[in-house]
Amino acid sequence: MRLLGVLILALVVCSCSATKEKSIFNGKNLDGWTPKIHHHEYGDNYANTFRVEDGLIKVRYDGYDHFNERYGHLFYKTPYSHFHLTLEYRFNGIWREDAPSYTHLNSGVMFHSQDPATILKEQDWPISVEMQLLAEEKPGVPRPTGNMCSPGTDVVYQGQKDPRHCIDSRSKTYKPDEWIRAELIVYGDSLVQHLINGEVVLEYTKPTIGGGVVNGADPKIFIPGKPLTSGYIGLQSEGQEIDFRNITIRDLSKKR
């Protein structure tokens, strides 16, 4: 599988001239992006959780009295199937101590998500696949980033459906406050690759709806076994402040 991933990555690099990279964050405001936060309606940016300052999308909690499981996601307006997403992130700011302990120096990028307009008010997580972003908590203790987590989904890893909610990548461990380049290369449900600072650190196939974790979803949307071949992209807020910048996408389904 690793050799296949290298070959696929080489094909992507060779075909870059045939597709056009597009910036999906203008550095000025949240045009094209809409939040969905647990306990709130789609479009309600509770307490200005997601904001643009200094050319960055920032996740901040200075308007919160208490976290109250307000897991949030900021979704881009356009769904994608075959794409190459690139962004940079850094953990910069507080972690809310009333959030679950696992959210410390933890965030993510969701993809192949259900239409965010179909996420119910009391649904905690979107049905999606997550590229999990982490940073070092304890010096010398490995904590890779660019992992896979599966809210309401399953994936095939190393040839078989993997029962784990999260699968660690083989990335290095990075300290908070470092800017890290994260990339997703996605071919529908046939191959997904995670890259950190230019290196392929994880790959898997066949994301489908299933598994656990997601609570409160519409049963008309949550259909176990349904292949996830496309969907929406979202930036996560789950208790840890984080910054995002330089968000671009290349549509790999189109040839120009």
Q: Which residues, in sequence order, are bridge partners of residue 33?
A: 76
Q: pLDDT digit of tens for each residue in the chain (256 aa)?
A: 454 454 444 444 444 445 789 999 999 999 999 999 999 999 999 999 999 999 999 999 999 999 999 999 999 999 999 999 999 999 999 999 999 999 999 999 999 999 999 999 999 999 999 999 999 999 999 999 999 999 999 999 999 999 999 999 999 999 999 999 999 999 999 999 999 999 999 999 999 999 889 999 999 999 999 999 999 999 999 999 999 999 999 999 975 4
Of all helices (H) and strands (E), which one includes residue 2?
A: helix 2-14
Domains of the chain plus CATH, in order, are 2-251 (2.60.120.560)
* Cα–Cα distance for residue pair 173/229, rounded to 1 Å: 31
Which tokens hold the place of 32? 């094209």
Which tokens hold the place of 242? 């984080």
Of all helices (H) and strands (E), which one includes residue 192?
A: strand 191-196
CB distance 60 to 235 below 8 Å: no
* Cα–Cα distance for residue pair 113/125, rounded to 1 Å: 10
* Cα–Cα distance for residue pair 160/57, rounded to 1 Å: 37
Name residue 23's amino acid. Answer: S
Of 141, 215, 221, 205, which Cα lies nearest the Cα of 174?
Answer: 141
